[in-house]
Chains A and B, each alone.
Chain A
Amino acid sequence: MNDAPNIYTVGVGDAKIARAPNQLKTLLGSCIGIALYDPIAKVGGILHVMLPKKTGNDQKLTKYADPGLPFFIGQIIKNGGASKNTLLAKIFGGAKMFETAGKLINIGEKNEQEVRRILKEEGIKIVAAKTGGTKGYNIALDTTTGNVECRIFGEAICIY
């Protein structure tokens, strides 16, 4: 939990929570970035998931949509003071990136499907989504407004 006004960067497979007036940013390729925001508590967070489901004994839950996303929702409620009833979600990324090993084709699409399934199950509304394509996403969540500034490589900035 970060309190000083600042811009915090979220790494791959990681999550961060911040309160207004802080900003959170991350870069996304095939990963999905889930920006959760509570407009009443003015608290937000970004979860950067790499894979749809956890299979092994990996302790790093935030790498995976399942169980990382339910864990992240719990954290933003418990540590950030957000309420599940007022939490809104915006999702980005899931691009079909270039192969570096030949095994990661369409992982972005699977990540997105799993994220949408979990958010529906948790009863959290997706109010904006920009996913797919073949280029990276640069997103920044402003926890004062809940706006997410999104720039896809080579394209103009859009606000969601």
Chain B
Amino acid sequence: MVISPERLRMLEVIMKLSIDNASRALSKTLRTGAKITLSKIYMADFNEATEKMNTDTREMTGIIVNFKGNLGCKMLFMLPLEGSTILTDYYLRQPVGTTKEFNADTESVSQELGNILASHISNTLVSDFNATLLPEPPQVHNDYAGIIFSSLLLEQGIYCDQLLLVETIFEICKTEITCYLFLLPELASLGKLLDAIGERK
């Protein structure tokens, strides 16, 4: 599938809006600045994308949300394992450093953050694309960055070698946490998404 630069630019604007909304909601929840910046939106080759991520062998917490509906997609929010304990402290309004390791609290907070991000991203997409999107409960998984990323892409990689990836850089104020946030429209949705913003090539 070929997406013209103009269509990609339009997608970028819409995605940026949804990510800005999510960023604001997260800042409010954590009561600290959370800045999500759209890094790029691009058609990625499945092998190249996974090869690149396989070089990142950091231990991460990945929060995956599946969206059902006529614009089905997946969201992956991934942060370093130690970052998830810091976010837990922010969320629970306790001094940073209180949570020492990934535990039941950290898992709950990660799920909650996934819910917040998912709902704000989907709200924008729903209003801009007149879509129905139903986020499923977030799944939290600790593993290598490349493994979590591959698990997100695996199903689509079976059917297609090209993926539309929305990649962001996510920074939490006063910390060194840099995270990943990926959005991956399903194959069937990608066509509808492109139809919604104009003619497909």
Contact = CB atoms under 8 A, between A and B. Distances in A.
A100 B59 contact: no
A26 B143 contact: no
A104 interface: yes
Given A28-B147, A138-B144, A12 B153 contact: yes
Contact of A30 (B54, B144, B154): B154
B157 A50 contact: yes
B98 to A, nearest CB: 23
Given A50-B154, A153-B143, A13 B46 contact: yes
B70 interface: no
A100 B147 contact: no
A84 B133 CA distance: 53
B123 interface: no
A135 interface: yes
Interface residues of B, number: 31
Interface in A119-160: 135-136, 138, 153-154
B154 A135 contact: no
Contacts of A12: 46-47, 50-51, 54, 150, 153-154, 157
Nearest to B45: A11
A31 B54 CA distance: 13
Contacts, number: 90
A51 interface: yes
A13 B157 contact: yes
B197 interface: no
Contact of B54 (A10, A51, A58, A101): A10
Interface in B142-181: 142-144, 146-148, 150-155, 157-158, 161
B47 A29 contact: no
B141 A98 contact: yes
B154 A11 contact: no
Interface of A: 9-14, 25-31, 50-51, 58, 60, 63, 97-101, 103-104, 135-136, 138, 153-154
15 contacts: A9-B54, A11-B52, A12-B54, A12-B154, A14-B51, A27-B57, A27-B146, A27-B150, A50-B154, A97-B147, A100-B66, A100-B139, A100-B155, A136-B143, A153-B147
The 3 closest A-B pairs by CB, nearest first: A11-B51, A136-B147, A27-B146
